[in-house]
Amino acid sequence: MINNRHLLALKIAFPPTIPILTGFIFLGMTFGIYMHSLGHPLWMAVLMSACIFAGSMEFVTATMLLGIFNPLSAFILALMINARHLFYGISMLNQFKGTGKKKWYLIFGMCDETFVINQTLSIPGNADKGLVMTYVTLLNQLYWGTGSFIGSVIGSFITVDLEGLEFVMTALFLVIFLEQWFKGGRRFSTLGIIISIFCLLIFGKTYFVLPTMLIMLIIFIVFKRPLTRVGERI
């Protein structure tokens, strides 16, 4: 039976993951259907969701598995696609302090959506912070894995065109951004928009994400302490 400490952590972790549940189930189903269309067995989609848990890379891997095995190419491609996670990890160093062995799973399971929730979630002092973040991470991975399984099972019966369904997660990030804006973090939110537009114009839509995050990380490190002293929420 789940004890009170775990129950409290789960109660805190579940509500903010509900929007992720909706998005991940549908996107996971899309992935499962795609895997089926390529001829992969049902268990492959579930295994990839458990071992890789990186949406974009899973779609790419599904295609790469049909070609010649090239581990170096796979490594470089994975690094290019998920390099932004380097910056996620750096910004979460303080959050992960004191989490013990749970830290390793938190690092492994830190997708975009999990990062946003764990970075912004207000956790009461009587709750185990590491346990709450672990449940957030686990729930999100379960959502994705469940969607992948469902998609694989019903893939042979689905004829509906699911192209463009990825807008769900874009809309989710917009909602989270607006929530942070109205909570008071407007200075850094505005700065983030300006930097993103600048890098988009300079580097183009294909390459602007990494330079944007690098610049924002530098600004975050340099100005976090002064802004914290004056009460700015970042």
- Give per-residue pLDDT as tens, 215-230: 877 776 676 555 444 4
* Domain presence at residue 178: no
* Domain presence at residue 147: yes
**Residue 92: closest CA among 57, 117, 61, 128:** 117
CB contact at 8 A, 110 and 85:
yes
Instruction: Report residue 179's pLDDT band, with 50, 70 and 90 as the boundaries.
Output: low
DSSP label of 109:
T
- Helices 112-120 and 84-91, packing angle to 10 deg: 20
* Domain presence at residue 59: yes
Same domain, yes or no, for 145 and 113? yes
Same domain, yes or no, for 111 and 210? no
* Domain presence at residue 193: yes
Domain boundary residue, one of 114, 133, 164: 164
Which conformational region is residue 164 in: left (phi greater than 0), alpha (psi within -120 to 50 degrees), or beta? Answer: left
* Domain presence at residue 176: no
Same domain, yes or no, for 58 and 145? yes
Same domain, yes or no, for 40 and 113? yes
* Domain presence at residue 179: no
Domain boundary residue, one of 164, 195, 216: 164
Structural domain harbouring 81: 4-164
Same domain, yes or no, for 201 and 112? no
Same domain, yes or no, for 150 and 203? no
pLDDT higher than 80, residue 171 = no
Domain count along the chain = 2
pLDDT higher than 70, residue 140 = yes
Q: How confident is the model over 18-67, as pLDDT tens digits? A: 989 988 998 888 888 888 888 888 899 999 999 988 877 888 888 888 88
Same domain, yes or no, for 66 and 127? yes
Which of 92-96, 191-195, 210-214 has the least mean pLDDT? 210-214
